[in-house]
Amino acid sequence: MIGTKMRLWIFFALCLGFWPRGGEAADPEVLKPRVPAEQIEEARTWVNPFPSTHENIAKGKAIFHGKAFCVTCHGKDGKGLQNIPGLRGKLPRNFTDKSWQKVRADGELLWILKNGSPGTAMAPFIPLVLTEEEAWHVVLYVRSFEK
């Protein structure tokens, strides 16, 4: 999923203080749907069964920082590390980007957690790392970066 070499690079990037600039307008490339056209209609109908309560968001946060290691690429602040060597043009998503948040349905985010984003470092997490229930909690946490 993520090799030792990549982990090292991420570590160095962090040490050097290459933090991303946040809150910028999205690259139009980022707004293009990631779910294939023939599946997107269905994915958009999937509704998060868990309400966005403080408790559920906290559960998602624990997973994001813990066993799912989302934080390694998407950062503590959700802005996504922007200087990971080798990921040029396919960088981790900046979750604080409001225009990106707006164009994505919750179901599309769950689809990504099931399938990954093919051709990028974003791997599938369901079912190997996360159950679907856990993934929905992480989606609540991802949504909380919009605020």
User: Of 35 and 54, which CB lies nearer to ligand HEC in the complex structure?
Assistant: 35
Asked whether position 103 contacts ligand HEC by CB under 6 A, the answer is no
DSSP string over 102-136: HH--HHHHHHHHHH--TTSS----TTTT--HHHHH
Quick one: which of 144, 141, 4, 11 has its CA closest to 72?
11
**Smaller CB separation from ligand HEC, 59 or 74:** 74
Phi and psi at residue 118, in whole multiples of 5°? Answer: -50, 140
Stretch that binds ligand HEC, among 18-26, 41-49, 51-59, 102-110 (CB under 6 A): 102-110
Burial class (CB in 10 A: 0-12, 13-18, 19+), 135: buried
- Candidates 34, 59, 137, 143; binder of ligand HEC (CB under 6 A) is 34
Q: How far is the CB of 134 from ligand HEC (least distance, A)?
A: 9
Q: Which of 69, 77, 83, 124 binds ligand HEC (CB under 6 A)?
A: 69
The answer to the question of residue 138 lying near ligand HEC (CB under 6 A) is: yes
Q: What DSSP designation does 23 have?
A: S
Asked if residue 92 binds ligand HEC (CB under 6 A), the reply is: yes
| Complex with ligand HEC: residue 57 or 113, whichever CB lies closer | 113
Count CB atoms within 10 A of the CB of residue 97.
Answer: 23
Residues 108, 130, 91, 146: is their CA dihedral positive or negative? positive
Please identify, among the stretches 16-24, 41-49, 51-59, 85-93, the one whose residues bind ligand HEC according to the rule CB under 6 A.
85-93
